[in-house]
Amino acid sequence: MPARRRTDPVAGRAALAAWLDGDTSRPTTTTAVRFTLEELAAVAPGNAVEVRVPPAGAVQAVAGPRHTRGTPPNVVETDPATWLDLASGRSTWADAVTAGRVHASGERADLADLLPLQAARRR
């Protein structure tokens, strides 16, 4: 089943473009984060990894075993700016992990092959 979109893709791309141009207001950042999280879930459907970007949102993605209770075995957590840098290609997965800007636990929690997101690239 494809990921359910709550963010209009046009509004999401516009928010991401505005964020990349320097608009770091909370509404813009939140919309951009939610759009890119939804895009990740669409590109890598599944429930094996929980990607958390507090306070903007979280999504389950990546194929593999599904967890149903408690803390998932595969978790990625980062802040909104780092997530948007990763999603847009302004930062690499390896650099963000090395710098401690991304906390990833579990054998499926490496998102390097999924980032940057195609939908997050400038058109």
- Confidence at 67, pLDDT banded by 50, 70, 90: low
Average pLDDT over the chain, rounded to an integer: 92
The secondary structure of 20-73, three-state, reads HCCCCCHHHHHHHHHHHHHHHHHHCCCCCEEEEECCCEEEEECCCCCCCCCCCC
Q: Which amino acid is at 118?
A: Q
The mean pLDDT value for 56-67 works out to 88
Given a contact cutoff of 8 angstroms between Cβ atoms, the answer to whether 55 and 16 are in contact is no
Report the distance separating Cα 19 and Cα 102, nearest Å.
Answer: 20
pLDDT at 65 over 90: no
What would the pLDDT profile of 77-113 be if each residue is shown by its tens digit?
A: 999 999 999 999 999 999 999 999 999 999 999 999 9
Report the distance separating Cα 88 and Cα 71, nearest Å.
Answer: 28
